[in-house]
Structure 1
Amino acid sequence: MLPTELLMFRVKAGIVEPRRLNPTPGHLTLVAALCGAFEAHVNDKRAQLEEDLRALEAGRSDYRVVRGLAHLLAQDHAVFETGGTVEPGTVRETVFSLAQGQPPSRARSARILEDASTRLGLGSAEEALDLLYADLPDQQRLVSFEAPDPVPLLQRFELAQAQGVLYRAYSLIITAHRNEPARYKQLLRYTKLFGLMVTVEGDADTGFTLTMDGPTSLFGSTTRYGLALAKFLPALLHVTRWDLTAAVKPRKDLAWVDPSDEEWSFQLTSEDGYVSHYKEPQEHDSALESGFAERFEKLGTPWTLEREVDLVPVPGGVIIPDFRLVHPDGRSVLVEIVGYWRPEYLRKKFELLRRSGRTDVIVAVSERLNLEKAGVKTTDFGERVVFFKGVLNPKVVLELAERMAANS
């Protein structure tokens, strides 16, 4: 993430366009110079590093590019720590206690630092002086640095610029079309992780529309919610086909902004070339699900097993069934596997399944679960519940799918 003062964008006909940063020879040279500065100052104070960084940006019209790349290097690739064997707060307390009531002078200051050094078991007055404010950011030391490859760093810079636009978003609409396995579930997990309020509509064939309220509509200019929207963007990049439209509150603090602008639009698609730094989702969430998929492949059935391709909108939430069984004649059944989990999770899971009103969902439940203790009843699901021990037998699930599809 980048601070607001390092964001670069332009507005054309009400459309916000964040700064892009192609891997030109000039930009690659700049990255190499920045990494060289960090490497040269390992074990030095941050203030010394920042002095060299200021020298690199001197006279450059793109100084914010230099600062932005340096910010990302410090944030993601460098480790700064407070040095010394004694906490700076303890050093300050000792020094200030010794100095209390004494008029300031250079000689007295030297004696106080000597006394503090002795009391704290330090090697010298110079060490005490060095530790006095060692916890301030510019006094922390760079203890390690791992230089990234230049191209991913430039990509990270571009994404950070796009994320920064969302700081001021107050309406976010995403259309996620039919996608690769596991992408939908990761998308919804990140909305929950970052505390985003989302409404989901649509289906797997026509695409799902996710509508999110942004910071302005909910809490005025609440930076915290805008930051959550920005953190969500890298997760969206793992979805293979999507488009995004955000309504953004204009920045009136910029001299070049038209004061009559009431709203800007920020638009992205999966074709825009942004690259996520978040880890890609695994194909299966658990050994239980992957084992079921492997055993199903050996059945030799005309039914096919698709992984997490449906979002089922439910008042107050969304269900993403683990699998969909599809027959060549068009019949289909959803499969939700409920393995071992916490009682709170079980209650919410079954409540969402019940409220969905869907009668085409097979619910496979491990017999290891203490549903009674969790306050969960399966009677609402009738014959659509399959209990299993250890592993889930795909033949049993397929037989039930045949019966359900025949009755639908």
Structure 2
Amino acid sequence: MLPTELLMFRVKAGLVEPRRLKATTNNLRLAESVTQAFEANLNQRRADLDEELKALEAGRSDFKVLRGFAHLLTNGSSTFETGSDVDPGHIRAKVFELAQAQPPSRHRRTLVLEQAAKSLVTERPLSAEDLADLLYADLPDQQRLVAFDPPEPGDLLERFNLAQAQGQLYRAYSLIITARRNEPARYKQLLKYTKFFGLMVTVEGDATHGFTLTMDGPTSLFSSTTRYGLAMAKFLPALLHVTKWDLTATLKPRKDLDWVDESEAEWLFELTSEDGYVSHYKPPEEHDSALEAGFSERFAKLDTPWQLEREVDLVSVPGGVIVPDFRLVHPDSRSVLVEIVGYWRPEYLRKKFDLLRKSGRTDVIVCVSERLNLDKAGVDPSDFGERLIWFKGVLNPKDVLALAERMTSGA
């Protein structure tokens, strides 16, 4: 992401609009020039790279864009290392120790470095010149660019635009997302990232009218911190993998800017899935497991009016959220949810069945593999009664369809 000083935006009637770069010839050329500067400095010191970047931005009015590109390449595409098998701190300690015993003279520095080079045990012989170069090699500006994975200019532009949007969330203390029907893998990734980044989420709604996810937390109570907003910013790229959503964030205004209206108590930042931002996070797999993929493939071969949907409900329960694997929908509007429980760790199994019970939903078919060691996990699913299907190896979709018919027809 970008530091605050590189964020570019405007505020109109309390609504924040981040700067977005278009894929113009000039912008693409600038992205390519910055990338080429990194490539030209491979195996060189960061200080040398910084000097070249300063020369590149000289006299440019869009220097913030250039610095933004450089920041993203430094933190997302580059690997900097000390470039030595010897700890520079150890070298300094040895040099300072020898310097204390060496009387002052104009050749003192060279003599000390030569003595230190001879006394250090290294993979290759070191000269006094080598030691002088390595003495402070662990400082950031002395580290060397040892690897660089250059993005395409257009990709760097997309990353810059997303970083500008992410930066608006640094000062967010509330995030409300309306997400309509989506594949379970997308929902699951979404919820996984809320947990990963420490975001507290409550869910309301249904698949027909959409779900409202409200993200808030204890840090939002303290106006002096941006830690929670930073977590929301890191979460945004995950949201981009979900389709059909709207986002509204409430922000603390930037009072440090001269043009900000002091009377404004809050700003709003709004995004939708149609805004065209591109995520750099890896997209989730369509199916979470081979069990689900196999079930879907076998179902597709059946001649049945029932439709198998990957777009299902988010089921909010006390202590968590359930995202069932499938929904079975009949043309006459009957429907059931399908949850497949394959091989998982004991703690996962306990939580999974606990959430299923807490949900209170009676329209969920629970399919459980007989290969699971439920006794070891301390789990007894028998209280799901007739909604429970046991299977060996593969799950037969005909068994699920038959149970769906009984559940929805009252038979």
TM-score (norm 2): 0.95
Partner of 1:89: 89
Whole-angstrom CA distance in 1 between matches of 2:98 and 2:90: 12
**Superposition map of 1:6-405 within 5 A:** 6-100=6-100, 106-121=106-121, 122-180=125-183, 182-213=185-216, 216-405=219-408
Deviation per CA, 1:136-184, whole angstroms, max 9, x where unpaired? Answer: 1110111222321111110100000100111110010000012345322
Post-superposition offset of 1:325: 0.8
Secondary structure at the aligned position of 2:157 is classed as: helix
Deviation per CA, 1:273-332, whole angstroms, max 9, x where unpaired? Answer: 111111222111111110011111112111111114211111121100001111111111
Whole-angstrom CA distance in 1 between matches of 2:103 and 2:383: 82
Check the 8 A contact 1:77/1:145 in 2, yes or no. yes
The 1:105–1:381 alpha-carbon spacing in structure 2 relative to 1, beyond 3 Å, is farther
Question: Could you tell me which amino acid in structure 2 is paired with residue 281 of structure 1?
Answer: P
Q: Which shows bigger deviation, 260-269 or 173-182?
A: 173-182
Question: Could you tell me which amino acid in structure 1 is paired with residue 378 of structure 2?
Answer: G
Check the 8 A contact 1:169/1:216 in 2, yes or no. no
Structure 1, unpaired ranges of 5+: none
Whole-angstrom CA distance in 1 between matches of 2:159 and 2:57: 20
Partner of 1:5: 5
Whole-angstrom CA distance in 2 between matches of 1:216 and 1:13: 27
Post-superposition offset of 1:100: 3.0
Post-superposition offset of 1:61: 2.0
The 1:104–1:255 alpha-carbon spacing in structure 2 relative to 1, beyond 3 Å, is farther
Post-superposition offset of 1:214: 5.5
Whole-angstrom CA distance in 2 between matches of 1:107 and 1:252: 56
The 1:303–1:104 alpha-carbon spacing in structure 2 relative to 1, beyond 3 Å, is farther
Post-superposition offset of 1:229: 0.7
Post-superposition offset of 1:380: 2.4
Whole-angstrom CA distance in 1 between matches of 2:360 and 2:374: 21
Whole-angstrom CA distance in 1 between matches of 2:263 and 2:115: 64
Post-superposition offset of 1:374: 1.1
Check the 8 A contact 2:219/2:227 in 1, yes or no. no
Whole-angstrom CA distance in 2 between matches of 1:149 and 1:339: 41
Cα RMSD of the aligned pairs, angstroms, is 1.6
Question: Could you tell me which amino acid in structure 2 is paired with residue 198 of structure 1?
Answer: V
Runs of 4+ in 1 over 4 A off after TM superposition: 101-106
Post-superposition offset of 1:218: 4.3
The 1:351–1:219 alpha-carbon spacing in structure 2 relative to 1, beyond 3 Å, is farther
Whole-angstrom CA distance in 2 between matches of 1:107 and 1:198: 67
The 1:103–1:252 alpha-carbon spacing in structure 2 relative to 1, beyond 3 Å, is farther
Whole-angstrom CA distance in 2 between matches of 1:337 and 1:106: 78
TM-score (norm 1): 0.96
Check the 8 A contact 1:215/1:223 in 2, yes or no. no
Post-superposition offset of 1:80: 1.5
Secondary structure at the aligned position of 2:327 is classed as: strand
Check the 8 A contact 2:47/2:142 in 1, yes or no. yes
Deviation per CA, 1:320-368, whole angstroms, max 9, x where unpaired? Answer: 0001111111111111001111111111111110000000101111111
Whole-angstrom CA distance in 2 between matches of 1:32 and 1:361: 53
The 1:44–1:215 alpha-carbon spacing in structure 2 relative to 1, beyond 3 Å, is farther
Structure 2, unpaired ranges of 5+: none
Question: Could you tell me which amino acid in structure 1 is paired with residue 296 of structure 2?
Answer: A
Post-superposition offset of 1:403: 0.8
Whole-angstrom CA distance in 2 between matches of 1:162 and 1:104: 58
